[in-house]
Structure 1
C-alpha cells in the first residue's frame, strides 16, 4: 500500500523518519541482504517483535518493503533509500570525533575530503597521559621501516626515536622542515648531534623549505599521521588513518615540499 499523493513526505521528513529511529535503520539495512521472515529479522537486528511489526507496517505503507506471505523484502525504492542513508551515515561518522579537535586544524593545507577520515583513530591527551599524541607518534616510529614527514615543528622525543631508528636500527627517514624549525634545531647542541648522526648513518635525509609549512604530516609505512597542534609545537591530537585517498594526498604533498626544498648538508648543523 502506498501513501496517497497528498501525503507524500518531503526529503527532510523522510530523512527524519529514519534518523530518529536506529531500529528502522537496522531493519531496512538488514532487508537489503534479501527476503527475510520476521523471525530472521528479529534475530538479525535485535528489534522486539512489537516494534518490528510497527516498522514493517510503516515501510510497507511507504512502498519501501513488500510482503510475500511471511517474507519481506525491499522494493527498488527501499533498497535505494537504505543504500543512500547508509552512505550518509558513513559520511557523518567522522563528525563527532572531529568536533572535538576541529579548533586545532590548520587554516590551510589539509585539502582532502574529510569524509575520508571515516574510521580514522583520533588520539588525544588523557588524564593519565597528557602527552598521548606524542607518545603515539614515537610508538609508531619504533616499529616503522620507512618514515617521511613534513613539519613546521620538532619534538625532542620524536627526534630521539628517529635517531635510535636510523643510527641503531634500519629505519629510513626523510624529513622536510621549514626555516623556523631549522633555526631552532641549530640552537640545540643535542639536536645538532642527533641530526648529524642520522645523516651520517646513510639512512636519513633532511631538507629545508624556505617558506612556511602549515601542518605536520607523518607517512609511517602505510599509515598517515596528521598532527593537530593549533599552530603550536606539541600536537594536541593525532589523527591516524590508512585511507587510500589520504595516503595518496600525503605522498603527493610530502613529495611536493621535498622537491621545492634544499638538501640539508650535515655540516650546516655545526656551523
Structure 2
C-alpha cells in the first residue's frame, strides 16, 4: 500500500488519534489535560503519543506535548479531507439534480445543509420544510418555476397579518397554474394589492426553485421528470449570496405581475 494511504488509514481507524492531534493543534497540553479533552484513557494516550512522537508529529515539552509543523500540516489536511467527505455524504443522494454548473460557490458551503426528502408517511416533507422557513420570517424572496398552494397561503398570511416583506419572481407557467385555480388566483390577486408584497413574472423558463427567508436559503430539488426529490436548506452566507444574486438577475429580467394577467 502507498505509504501516504497507510498514514491516512492509521489516523482514520482511531477517533482518539484524531482527537488528540486536533487538541494539540489547538494548544500544547499535558496527558491529564488530553485525557479530559478527548476522553481517551491514560494507556490509550500513552500509545498514541508514542506513535505520534515516532512520526515527529508532536514533541515532548517540560510540561506536556506540543504539535510540530508537520503534525499541524497533517491535522489540517485530515480535517479538510473529513469536511470534503462529510459534504459528499450530505449531497450524495441529491447531487444528480443540483444546478452545480450555476453554483459559483464552493460545495463545502453545503456541508451543514439540511436535506429533507419525501417518505411514505410524509410525502410532502420537503414542501413543509420550506414552508416552515417562510412562516415567521420578516423577509421572503423567491425565484421559482412553481408557487405551491401551501407557500402562497403562508406568504399571504405573513404579509397581511404579520407585516412580512415578500418579493417573488416566477415563470409564466407558475402563474398560469395559479390562475387556473379560482381560489388560488383570488389569493394571489389579494397579495398583489398588499403594500409589502411585489410579484414579477419571467416570460420564459425558470429552472430554479429558491426561497430566501431571512437568513435561510432553501432549494427545492427535482429530478429530470419534474418530481420533487428533496428540499435543501442552509444559512451559509456564501450560498445565500448566490441566492440573492440569482433572485436579482431574474428580478431585473421580469415584469410586474398585474391582476389582469390572472384573468
TM-score calculated relative to the size of structure 1: 0.88
Cα shift at 1:203: 1.9
Instruction: Select the residue among 26, 40, 53 that pairs with 1:33.
Output: 26
Contact 2:90/2:113 (<8 A) preserved: no
Cα shift at 1:94: 2.2
Aligned partners of 1:31 and 1:210: how far apart in 2? 58
Residues 194-250 of structure 1, C-alpha deviations (whole Å, 9 max, x = no match): 111001112211111122211211010111111112256674322211111111111
Higher mean alpha-carbon deviation, 51-60 vs 122-131, is at 122-131
**Aligned: 1:184 with 2:177:** yes
Report what 1:216 is aligned to: 209
Aligned partners of 1:258 and 1:233: how far apart in 2? 23
Report what 2:248 is aligned to: 255
Higher mean alpha-carbon deviation, 49-58 vs 118-127, is at 118-127
Aligned partners of 2:261 and 2:106: how far apart in 1? 39
Report what 2:8 is aligned to: 15
Aligned partners of 2:177 and 2:91: how far apart in 1? 31
Aligned partners of 1:137 and 1:154: how far apart in 2? 12
Instruction: Select the residue among 93, 109, 121 that pairs with 2:102.
Output: 109
Report what 1:171 is aligned to: 164
Higher mean alpha-carbon deviation, 183-192 vs 12-21, is at 12-21
Instruction: Select the residue among 75, 78, 83 that pairs with 2:76.
Output: 83
SS at match of 1:93: helix
Aligned partners of 1:123 and 1:191: how far apart in 2? 26
Higher mean alpha-carbon deviation, 46-55 vs 151-160, is at 46-55
Residues 164-191 of structure 1, C-alpha deviations (whole Å, 9 max, x = no match): 1123331111111112212222211122
Change (3 A) 1:95 1:110: same
Residues 140-185 of structure 1, C-alpha deviations (whole Å, 9 max, x = no match): 2220111100111121111111111123331111111112212222
Report what 1:6 is aligned to: none
The unaligned stretches of length 5 or more in structure 2 are none
Residues 236-268 of structure 1, C-alpha deviations (whole Å, 9 max, x = no match): 322211111111111111000110111111221
Cα shift at 1:48: 2.4
Mapping for residues 71-150 of structure 1, pairs under 5 Å? 71-106=64-99, 108-126=101-119, 128-150=121-143
